[in-house]
Amino acid sequence: MKEKVVEAIGLKKSFGDLHVLKGVDLDLHRGETVVILGKSGAGKSVFIKIMVGLLTQDSGVMRVLGQDVEKLKTKALNALRLKIGFSFQNSALYDSMTVKENLEFPLVRNIKNLSRKEKDLKIEEMLDSVGLPQTINQMPSELSGGQKKRIGVARTLILNPEIMLYDEPTAGLDPITCMDINNLINEVQERYRTSSIVITHDLTCAKVTGDRMAVLLDGQFRSKGSFQEVFSKAEDEQVKSFYDYNFIES
């Protein structure tokens, strides 16, 4: 069995009387991609936000790269965050900065003594790897949704993270762009040897990118396993309907 890079044990989280996570467990092993599926509002984003310390759980343990996230002090937490790439649901590009400045931001603030040339090279490499070298001087407002997503991914990749978290990378995109993004996720996986968590509603994306699936329903992971295991013999009605509706729609 490979080393666990993420280990969630009995995680609970509520907002007021809204119980979002009711004790979830999940392991992510080095080099694999786990896909988290689930309805809107199921708590998928909340789950990965706990992983980087943007939210804190009410109870349970979240261990990332062997460290208990909740117990980390600011400095150690920041050091851990640099090893995690977080691609936000709505890209979260800094809209007062150009694409170049967006990519530069994590770079110059976290790696000291970087020459201008090294910096530019790194930025070019990242833009090439997401296939958008021509956008370098554009503002985020001039990009399409799919382009924004890819620049967002480039910005998180620039620090060579060990773990990549993709929050709905294909939501709201046409099928062809979706496929581009799926391929990008797989390419990143191969080229940079990351371990990834992909959150999605999109079963094609899940099938293409994921080694394992986990379905989040009613605050718990109801079904885990390979795509075949989860969906071909799904006994759970809700898991099944997830599959059915997805394919009727597409």
Partner 1 sequence: MAEEADDRKPLLSKKIDKFFKGLADAWNFVRRYFQEVFMPPFEFKELIHQCYRIGVESLPLISLTGFIVGIVFTNQSRPSLSEFGASSWLPSLISIAVVRAMGPLVTALIAAGKVGSSIGAEIGSMKVTEQIDAMEVSATNPFKFLVVTRVTATTIMIPLLVMYTDFVALMGSFLNVNANEMVSLTTFFFQVFESITFLDIWSSVLKSILFGFTIGIVGCYKGYNSTKGTEGVGRAANSAVVISMFLIFIEELLALQIVNAIRNM
Ligand X SMILES: Nc1ncnc2c1ncn2[C@@H]1O[C@H](COP(=O)(O)OP(=O)(O)OP(=O)(O)O)[C@@H](O)[C@H]1O
Site of tokens 């979240």: 62
Single out the residue of 6, 8, 11, 20 in contact with ligand X (rule: CB under 6 A). Answer: 20
Per DSSP, which regions of the chain are E strands?
4-15, 18-29, 33-38, 59-64, 67-68, 84-87, 163-167, 195-200, 212-217, 220-225
64: helix, strand or coil? strand
Q: How far is the CB of 119 from ligand X (least distance, A)?
A: 34
State phi, psi for 125 to the nearest 5 degrees.
-60, -45
Site string for ligand X, 84-113 (x = CB under 6 A): -----x------------------------
Q: Say how far apart CA 92 and CA 144 lie, in whole Å.
A: 13
In one letter, which amino acid is 185? I
Assess 52 for contact with ligand X (CB under 6 A): no
Question: How far is C-alpha 171 from the chain's CA centre?
Answer: 13
Assess 78 for contact with partner 1 (CB under 8 A): yes
Two tokens, residue 36: 């988290």
Single out the residue of 40, 74, 141, 250 in contact with ligand X (rule: CB under 6 A). Answer: 40
Which one of Mg ion, partner 1, ligand X, none is in contact with 42 (Cβ closer than 5 to 8 A by kind)?
Answer: ligand X
In terms of Cα–Cα distance, which of 216, 172, 169 is closest to 189? 169
Judged by beta carbon, residue 41 or residue 66, the one nearer ligand X is 41
Assess 220 for contact with ligand X (CB under 6 A): no
Stretch that binds ligand X, among 35-43, 76-84, 115-123, 132-140 (CB under 6 A): 35-43
In terms of Cα–Cα distance, which of 47, 66, 80, 83 is closest to 7? 66
In terms of Cα–Cα distance, which of 203, 200, 198, 199 is closest to 246? 203
Q: Sheet containing 67-68: give its strands across.
A: 18-29, 4-15, 59-64, 67-68
Assess 110 for contact with partner 1 (CB under 8 A): yes
Interface size with partner 1, residues (CB under 8 A) = 25
Single out the residue of 61, 136, 139, 159 in contact with partner 1 (rule: CB under 8 A). Answer: 159
Assess 45 for contact with Mg ion (CB under 5 A): yes
Which one of Mg ion, partner 1, ligand X, none is in contact with 78 (Cβ closer than 5 to 8 A by kind)?
Answer: partner 1
Single out the residue of 26, 28, 35, 42 in contact with ligand X (rule: CB under 6 A). Answer: 42
Judged by beta carbon, residue 38 or residue 161, the one nearer partner 1 is 161
Assess 200 for contact with Mg ion (CB under 5 A): no
The residues binding partner 1 (CB under 8 A) are 16-17, 49, 52, 54, 78-79, 81-82, 84, 86, 88-90, 92-96, 105-106, 109-110, 155, 159
